[in-house]
Chains A and B, each alone.
Chain A
Amino acid sequence: MRPQDILLPTPAGLCCKPGGFHIDPVRAVERAVITHGHSDHARPGHGAVLATQETLDMMRLRYGDNFARSTQAIAYGAEIRLGDVTVKFHPAGHVLGSAQIAVTCKDTCIVASGDYKDARDPTCAAFELVPCDVFITEATFGLPVFRHGDAGEEVKKLLASVTLFPERAHLVGAYSLGKAQRVIALLRESGFDAPIYLHGAMEKITQYYQSRGIDLGELRAVRGMKKADLAGTITLAPPSATSDLWTRRFPDPVTAFASGWMRVRARARQRGVELPLVISDHADWDGLTATIAATGAGEVWVTHGQEDALVHWCKSKGLVARPLDLVGYGDEDEGEAAATDEADA
């Protein structure tokens, strides 16, 4: 069976005809299988939704109880039969509850990895390598200029700045689902035990992380705080809020931004970031290429991001590769997702 008979890109998203479902559909469909809770992958209005419990919970938090007609939770490692295919979920290491979806039909296995990273993250299950025939990979950071380094070192940069400017507040722009909680967890690992402040848009989702047993120490709402009391503190906020009127409540704030994009100066400067922190929930170039090679897949489909470079690399390694040209997926640090954050706030 040809792989494209199992999974095919369509305007609604990646469609599995023999299984009768779409993966991460961008339009409302009858049956959706969803990799993780970011809003460009997990959208409301589908008939039936299959996802991990965490992803379903996050969708409920974001969209309300009626985000789909029916839902079914599936655990990592569990297998389920849908039509003529079997579907199995594996940890993707991207955010809490994120999964790669292995779709097997007869003797062909395709892994749709969604967004993933092979770097350590104390707030979610570690990425699991799934051997397969066709590997569908993201390419958000699919250029060799993207090497993310150790996130712990970046957090040390933040703490050094807090020590250097005790009279100023530190505002860390971080996507509210996943990145923010990871930065907090890393701060705790580095020994920072003072209360950490949260923008209103982050409270619900961060409480949800805590309810799943992830220790984030003492967290406080920044709402209602006196300006002077915020000197020397760290506040996490959605990226869009760090350039907003909202920042006026802070004493002479230092603006940081935790994102893989911070590798590129123009990005950081344009956003008015003074303290760029290269912390990413996506695999970097080395991570992408190492993962592709390790899956043993002979064919690679590349989607959302820098498809061209990764496709070129795959071909230079003798792999069959093509871009998927799926439309509608951003990376969560970009303006589009930031706008969603504003709506949440």
Chain B
Amino acid sequence: MAFFVARRLLYLVPVLIAVSLLTFSIASLLPGDLAYTILGDQATPENVAALRADMGLDQPIWWRYLSWLGGVLQGDFGRSFRTGQTVLQAVGERLPVSIELMLLAQLGALGIGVPLAIICAARSGGPFDRFMTGTAFGMLSVPTFLSAILLIYFFAVELRWLPATGYVPFGEDPAANLRFMVLPALTLALAEWPSIMRVLRSDMIATLQEDYISLAKAKGLKASRILFVHALKPSSLTLVTITGINIGRLIGGAVIVETVFALPGIGRLLIGAILTRDLIILQGVVLLVGAGFVIMNFIVDLLYAVLDPRIRHGHA
């Protein structure tokens, strides 16, 4: 197990370096001069030259990368030239919102997808299975922003059950916080459950053909135990994989959902930074999101080992 973790950790380092390189290249190699962008209308050649010197833009590119990376490693991601906030402050303020959103969304997606997958697998080929498989396929073609609009229309505009936009911190008023979170989380969950359900269903159907399921039946175990312990546990590897793959889509979806529902999360910070050309914040957020994504995938890999004793003991 320790060896497994160490090997994975070792692989993490080059990937993180590559992520930082890519982030830096997007910001520095693409056409357009940062100093002009920042100064906008007030850009005179003198102002630009002064700012360039101030920001180190006149240094060679590799030097800029190294000094930027050096800063990042010491926790200095830079400071917004619009608000004066550091990247870490800005991200720190908004991260809890995004994390809450994604946790709720993932819970919702698993809550819808896993039971449906189990029922469909247990009754595969039946009318319910066919109906749900079709529904899931159709839902895969509904973009996040579409379900957001539909949910707002029905629950906020027509029924007026839930607020369309807004946010209250969880610490201030948990009930109100959850009321604001329901629709955004549901939007993301609606986008994620079909893939969970489809993959888990086909995996469960394959698992239910296994000899050990026949033996479990021959042992006289209850159907619930066969489904949830004997069949779901071997299939949960797939579940972890698909959940891991979905994280990337979830982060992208969170950007849209946070914008539509006006939640002050990382996604809105990113969109705001793009709209105000706040490039330091943008660079910092992209780097942190990329690194976070890589680390999430690393954790997913570790979960594999926890779930599958064969991997844990080094049998491939």
Q: Do A and B bind each other?
A: no
A interface with B by C-beta (< 8 Å)? none
B interface with A by C-beta (< 8 Å)? none
